[in-house]
Structure 1
């Protein structure tokens, strides 16, 4: 996959610019390098690691930050149109009843039943509750 990487590099002089260009050109997969403005390097290549480029530039030249990484598309290649599909939320209780999820729900011995007064009774023999 061919990608276009924009890296902002702090370059003071022409010597720093040429050194940065040489470092980036020596990386694997780089097909073209371009200077945009005074401190922006634009690298185009196939399988180029932007993190590797910035670490090399930080060690040898100075401050470097990745500005943008994007995929380069061919001029004849069009983006495939995706069909417009509306996804509906899925609810598990929509198709299944409680008795299907818990077949022994009604015969469970530890069912807590609530009364209108707000108190409850527990049919289990648990001493904590």
Structure 2
């Protein structure tokens, strides 16, 4: 899945910008990079299968402070026929309660309680 990741960095000079772009371009799956923002302190990375957390960690090690601003998919086509079909399926699924057990309108999960088994023969005792 192709995605766009925007990371905010603390870049004060041209040297740190160059180092950040070099670090990002060397990461696997990156197709394009660009500086953005009013002070050119954000990097926009577009690619397939980018690990945003690993990329941010690398930038923190090499450049300095780094923070993920956004991660969003790119280039997904919207099909109106699929949306219409999905809505009817979602409506059917919402009629089912998420938990089978409800007490005073509050759902709670069901747990199985077992007694400990003392039937085992221990050769030590």
TM value normalised by structure 2? 0.65
Which residue does the alignment assign to 2:58? 56
Other structure's SS at 2:83 match: coil
Compare the two structures and name the one with the higher helix fraction: 2
Aligned-partner Cα distance in 2 for 1:23–1:82: 43
Larger Rg: 1
Q: CA RMSD in A?
A: 1.9
Q: How does 1:36-115 map to 2 (within 5 A)?
A: 36-37=36-37, 38-74=40-76, 77-79=77-79, 80-83=82-85, 84-85=87-88, 86=91, 87-90=94-97
Superposed displacement of residue 82, structure 1: 3.9
TM value normalised by structure 1? 0.63
Which residue does the alignment assign to 2:20? 20
Paired residue total:
90
Q: Which runs of 5+ in 2 are unaligned?
A: 101-125
Tell me the alpha carbon deviations over residues 18-62 of structure 1, each in whole angstroms, 9 at most, x when there is no partner.
Answer: 110000000001000011122110000011111111111101101
Other structure's SS at 1:78 match: coil
Q: Using the TM superposition, name which of 8-17 and 81-90 deviates more.
A: 81-90
Q: Which runs of 5+ in 1 are unaligned?
A: 93-129
Aligned-partner Cα distance in 1 for 2:5–2:17: 17
